[in-house]
Structure 1
Amino acid sequence: SRALLYALIRSRCFRATDGRDKVYALLGLVEAYARDLEELRPCYAADHSVEKTYINVAVRILRDSDDLLILSCVEGRRFQRTSLPSWVPDWGCELQTGLRVTGYERYSASGRLPMSRPRLNIPRLTLTVYGVQIDEIVMVGEVTGAVLHGEPFPRWLDIFDAMQDNYPGPGSGEDKLDAFWRTLIANTFKSTGEMIPSTTTLVPALYEWLEMSVPDDKETAERKDWADRVSRTLVALSGQFGGVDYGHQMSHARHLRLFLTREGFIGRGTECLETGDIVCIVPGSRVPLVLRSITAEEASLHGLSEDNAYSLVGGTYLHGFMAGEAFDPSLMGGLIKGTRCEMEGFVLV
């Protein structure tokens, strides 16, 4: 199942006239695995829709996997057919979504906590996963792609201004500037398979990128105000210059947006996330997951209470939580800021 999932991830931006072929065209690569699996057998009957194909492959991968990597392939309703359950990736989406790190093996948000097997309810098309709620998103920034195309990013600077001087992440002790630049590039270089060492600093590179973001056209009052604000931010930062192309490091993942949580944790996740969404760590997923509460009406359609029913928005980078820092591996629950946290079930619809 891992080989099939990796093939689906790597071929996501390819085109297919029939959406079902986004799955069927790859089965030859995993012939030994897929040969005897009825739900993966190619079927082009009128009653076997693209949605049914994607649901079948998601269910098969979940049943055969010892992790929840497939859930991090979800990027929210903007990149998904509305008729699909929120936990089923839409392989027909040809955009380069996510953190752009296949497999996320450099991350381990839940540390060594064992995964509780997810519970599938096929008639209701729900999936129950077990994890810990970390915090609620209270501020969101502009989409990275728009910023890289020259659009102003005042909400990024609002987030930076709202951050605590000493980052509150577990065991962090770093200042907010370090947390900020690391989050913007998910604390990783695209060319490496590891997170950036704590001894490395890209503050000069961030400074240089910000300097280039000052608009040349200052004719309107709005553009002048924006230029003045970026300039004030530059004054607050180091005046050194570096050799790393910071904008290039950000450009690998364009469909993401910056966010800040109520407790002051900064992250970068799918552009579909909104204020009010919650960030959870779910053992089995190498990256935290963003969930959104659903309405009582939506919950009732699935025979559920709204208290624990959610839609999956996607995976995310949450600074200070990507290497299991929040948890004591000797506990089934864990420790976040010194408080024992119990696992709870989240029903995804």
Structure 2
Amino acid sequence: MKMLSNGRCPKLCLRSATDSPTWVGALKVIDHLMGLPWWTRLWVLQEAILQRGKVTAIYGEIVAPMSLIEASGAILPRHHENGLCCKSFWHSLPSDQQITLERFSKTTSSIEAVREILSIIKQNQIERLLFLLEKTRDRRATDPRDKIYGLLGLIEDSPDPVVDIAPDYERDVTHLYAGVAMRFIRHQQSLHVLLNHEIKPEAAGSHTLPSWVPHWGATYGSPTPNLIKYRLSQYNAWPSGAGRMPELSADSRALSVTGKYVDRITDVTRAVDKAATADLGKTLSELDVCFGVDEGHLVQYQPDGSGSGSGEGGMLPYDAVWRTLLGDQVSEHIARKAEQEFWYASDGKVFFKTARGYIGSGPPGTRAGDAVYLIFGSLVPVVLRPAASSHRLVGYAYVQGIMDGEATPEPGWQEAVESGSADDRNEAEDGRPRRIYLV
């Protein structure tokens, strides 16, 4: 580790054959060290980051500065991924040794990544807290409230202390998580935080939370949350402007938002799973069945002459289907990159068709009878499930043909919402914006 932390190439650290007892033994120690639950706990971030340079790791007879362990793990990708010096050496290693070293690098660099971002995001506690919550979704805490309380020490040095949260274990999880989500909504003047409603099945215990509140306590999350949010931020399904922002009910459960009904979902595929079905051709065949077409009929035809690629029935155009499959990320070199783009945009999602012919992709919990909505403050459409006089958030969606404001309400919609009767706030199919309640 000391040689690696000083910038030495991994191949120079190997002074014997890759099957020598010394080398194999060293990797076994590293593998066991990286498998310790300490690395998965949330509280270790404060221990490692706030006391940088003062933390000593003790593992049996091995005593080493934590900074040395982090530096040696972080240096590995610079050699075998970005440099020419060790690529051939890396590929000559047995696969189990590659896995061990990759795990070593990923585990140690995750702490350094948090430290580096915190050094960049200095001004605002809200932004720092949101970043940390997203970055630590896969870390564990015995008490789910500690998924928030355990991060407060990392934002104390911000010159703009606006979070105003103090550890209070008399406060239940629902009120804490909902209150934090509302802080993000009010600070950002948007529903951007809803993007953290992950495209995953509901986590154990999440049923006690309102559907719109991110379950920060869950030990799952996208491995690339920032990339997903970056891609979704490229859309503008409901352009920003004057309008009534969400309001929270007194019991912290119902979120009142302005929504516009788009259409009802009629057909849904099973969730795409790359790990279980790596055969892209088989997956596309299943999608053909859902969409009710085959490749020979994926033509650019619209009975209303719009050629927009979605809505109002008719055949599904080839371009619309492929843009949906790729999340609108159609590459110029489509033949070479189509499969890679497909899995990047679609893994873990379902595809659906609506009554009027829209096609889209969304969270795995989506089912026939759910509805596509535009929500004021959200850049992307959402899938909602009617529940008596309210709705439950299933998750965000990509819907071909409405991602760039095509279905935005007409000017003057604000007055119509404000003057709507109580009955108007239930789900309706006339496309007028209404106040709806997410529970």
TM-score above 0.5: yes
For residue 101 of structure 1, the aligned residue among 228, 231, 235 is 228
Q: Does 1:325 align with 2:406?
A: yes
> What amino acid does structure 1 have at the position aligned with 2:328?
N
How far apart are the structure 1 equivalents of 2:303 and 2:142? 48
Query: What is the SS of the residue equivalent to 1:325?
Result: coil
> What amino acid does structure 1 have at the position aligned with 2:405?
G
Residues 23 and 201 of structure 1, relative CA distance in 2, 3 Å threshold? same
> What amino acid does structure 2 have at the position aligned with 1:13?
D
CA contact (8 A) 2:185 2:193 kept: yes
With a CA cutoff of 8 Å and minimum separation of 6, indicate the structure with the bigger relative contact order. Answer: 1
How far apart are the structure 2 equivalents of 1:22 and 1:340? 42
How far apart are the structure 2 equivalents of 1:245 and 1:329? 37
**Aligned position for 2:308:** 173
Residues 124 and 101 of structure 1, relative CA distance in 2, 3 Å threshold? closer
**Aligned position for 1:130:** 258
CA contact (8 A) 1:167 1:265 kept: no
CA contact (8 A) 1:111 1:325 kept: no
Deviation per CA, 1:20-64, whole angstroms, max 9, x where unpaired?
2322333345434884644x2223x3x334444322211322333
Query: What is the SS of the residue equivalent to 2:336?
Result: coil
CA contact (8 A) 1:6 1:102 kept: no
Query: What is the SS of the residue equivalent to 1:293?
Result: strand
How far apart are the structure 2 equivalents of 1:139 and 1:99? 30
Residues 340 and 62 of structure 1, relative CA distance in 2, 3 Å threshold? same
Query: What is the SS of the residue equivalent to 2:218?
Result: coil
What displacement does 1:123 show?
A: 2.0
Aligned ranges 1:220-259 → 2 under 5 Å:
242-247=335-340, 249-251=342-344, 254-259=347-352
> What amino acid does structure 1 have at the position aligned with 2:147?
K
For residue 41 of structure 1, the aligned residue among 166, 171, 177 is 166
> What amino acid does structure 1 have at the position aligned with 2:292?
D
What displacement does 1:283 show?
A: 1.8
Per the normalisation by structure 2, the TM-score is 0.56
CA contact (8 A) 2:257 2:436 kept: yes
Q: Does 1:59 align with 2:182?
A: yes
How far apart are the structure 1 equivalents of 2:134 and 2:302? 33
What displacement does 1:133 show?
A: 0.3
Deviation per CA, 1:319-348, whole angstroms, max 9, x where unpaired?
111111223674537xxxxx9842111111
Percent identity over paired residues: 28
Deviation per CA, 1:83-117, whole angstroms, max 9, x where unpaired?
10111110123333589512532111112453421
Residues 75 and 268 of structure 1, relative CA distance in 2, 3 Å threshold? same
The aligned length equals: 282
> What amino acid does structure 1 have at the position aligned with 2:166?
R
What displacement does 1:156 show?
A: 1.3
Query: What is the SS of the residue equivalent to 2:308?
Result: coil
**Aligned position for 2:356:** 263
How far apart are the structure 2 equivalents of 1:142 and 1:99? 26
Residues 341 and 33 of structure 1, relative CA distance in 2, 3 Å threshold? farther
Query: What is the SS of the residue equivalent to 2:208?
Result: coil
For residue 314 of structure 1, the aligned residue among 382, 395, 399 is 395
What displacement does 1:7 show?
A: 3.2
Structure label with greater radius of gyration: 2
Structure 2 gaps, min length 5: 1-125, 310-315, 415-428
**Aligned position for 1:161:** 292
**Aligned position for 1:277:** 370
**Aligned position for 2:382:** 289
**Aligned position for 2:201:** 78
**Aligned position for 1:221:** none
Aligned ranges 1:296-307 → 2 under 5 Å:
306=388
How far apart are the structure 2 equivalents of 1:86 and 1:181? 30
CA contact (8 A) 1:258 1:269 kept: yes
Per the normalisation by structure 1, the TM-score is 0.69
Q: Does 1:348 align with 2:429?
A: no
Q: Which deviates more, 150-159 or 265-274?
A: 150-159
Q: Does 1:114 align with 2:242?
A: yes
Deviation per CA, 1:176-228, whole angstroms, max 9, x where unpaired?
2211121122113xxxxxxx5xxx567xx5xxxxxxxxxxxxxxxxxxxxxxx
Task: Please give the root-mean-square deviation of Cα atoms over the aligned residues, in Å.
Answer: 3.4
CA contact (8 A) 1:135 1:279 kept: yes
Structure 1 gaps, min length 5: 189-195, 206-241, 295-305, 334-338
For residue 68 of structure 1, the aligned residue among 182, 191, 196 is 191
CA contact (8 A) 2:380 2:396 kept: yes
Deviation per CA, 1:123-171, whole angstroms, max 9, x where unpaired?
2621111021000100001211157634754541223335885368996
Query: What is the SS of the residue equivalent to 1:346?
Result: strand
CA contact (8 A) 2:391 2:438 kept: yes
Residues 145 and 341 of structure 1, relative CA distance in 2, 3 Å threshold? same
Query: What is the SS of the residue equivalent to 1:139?
Result: strand
> What amino acid does structure 1 have at the position aligned with 2:259?
G
> What amino acid does structure 2 have at the position aligned with 1:125?
R
Query: What is the SS of the residue equivalent to 2:289?
Result: helix
Residues 112 and 55 of structure 1, relative CA distance in 2, 3 Å threshold? closer
